[in-house]
Structure 1
Amino acid sequence: MRQHHDTLTVQTRGTGFVEFTRDAARLVADSGIRDGLLTLLIQHTSAGLTITENADPDVLADLTDRLAVLAPRDPSLYRHGLEGPDDMPAHIRTLLTNVQLSIPVRDGRMVLGTWQGLFVVEHRARGGRRQVAAHVIGE
C-alpha cells in the first residue's frame, strides 16, 4: 500500500463553480498509484467541493441561483457579520455542498462518469486562492 499527499490551489473569481478535474487527474497520474482512492478536502469554511455535470454551463448557473435562494445575502437574516454580508451565507452554502470528496482510482485514473467534473464551489462574492488537500492511497 502506498500513499501520496499534495495540495491543489484553485483560483476563484467570486461566487460560482471552478472546475479542477484536470488538475486532480494530473495529481493522480503523478502519484503513480494505479488502483485505490483519492480523497479531497477543501481547507476553507466558505467554499465547497462537488461533483456535477461539466458539459452544460446552464447546470452550474442554475445551481448557483438555487444556492442564492437557500442562503440569501441579506445581513438582516444573520447574527454573524464580522467578515462581511456574504460570509454567513457562505458558511450556510458550504453546509449544503461538500467539503470532502472520495473518488475511486482504477488503472491510474479517477473513476468518474462521462459528464462528471470536480468543482470548487466559491460561496463568497470575491474570489481567492482556495486550497484543496489531496490524498491518494492504493497500489
Structure 2
Amino acid sequence: MINNSWYCEKITLCPYSRGFHLITDEITSALPQIKHVEVGLLHLMLQHTSASLTINENADPSVRRDLESFFNHTVKESSPYFTHTYEGPDDMPAHIKSSLLGCQLTIPVQRGKLALGTWQGITLGEHRDHAGPRTIIATLQGQ
C-alpha cells in the first residue's frame, strides 16, 4: 500500500458453535495487505444482529467461557416478556447480546501488524445455538 490507500474485503467465517471464539488469525489471514501498512486503521463490521465482535483475552480460554456464562445469566432465554421469539428461545437474547457488545471494531495498524495489546485478540460472540456463516466487512485504510 502506498500513500493513504484504502482496501475493503468481505470475510466469511464458517459457522461457529454458540460462545466466544478468537478470530484474530482468520481476520489477518484474509487481509495480507496489512503487512504493507506502516500506519493505519482496520475497521470491522459484522453484518449480523445476533452475533457480536469484541476485543478481549487471547490466551486463557476460561475467559471466553466466563463471558458466555455471564451473558447467558444476564440475558435469560425464554423470558416471558420477549415477543420476538419466531426463531426460537435464543433469538431475542442473541439480539440483546449483540446490542450490548456491538458489531463493529476499529483497530490501529502499526508497522504491518494490528496494534493489539499483548493479551488481546479479536473475538466473535456467537449468540445463536444454530448459526450459519457470519460475514464481516473489513475496511483497511493506511499508508
> Normalised by the size of structure 2, how large is the TM-score?
0.90
The aligned counterpart of 1:13 is: 16
The more displaced of 125-134 and 17-26 is 17-26
Maintained 8 Å contact 2:21/2:64: no
Q: Over aligned residues, Cα RMSD in angstroms?
A: 1.4
- Give the C-alpha shift of residue 104 in structure 1: 0.2
The aligned counterpart of 2:39 is: 35
Instruction: Give, in whole Å, the separation in 1 of the partners of 2:78 and 2:38.
Output: 48
> Normalised by the size of structure 1, how large is the TM-score?
0.93
- Give the C-alpha shift of residue 67 in structure 1: 0.3
- Give the C-alpha shift of residue 6 in structure 1: 0.2
Instruction: Give, in whole Å, the separation in 1 of the partners of 2:12 and 2:22.
Output: 12
Structure 2: runs of 5 or more not aligned: none
Render the CA deviation track for 1:49-95: whole Å, top value 9, x for unaligned: 01100111111111000000111111523011112211100000111
Amino-acid identity (%): 40
- Give the C-alpha shift of residue 28 in structure 1: 4.2
Structure 1: runs of 5 or more not aligned: none
Count of matched residue positions in the alignment of Structure 1 and Structure 2: 139
Say which of 80, 85, 96 aligns to 1:76: 80
Say whether residues 1:116 and 2:120 are aligned partners: yes
Instruction: Give, in whole Å, the separation in 1 of the partners of 2:111 and 2:50.
Output: 34
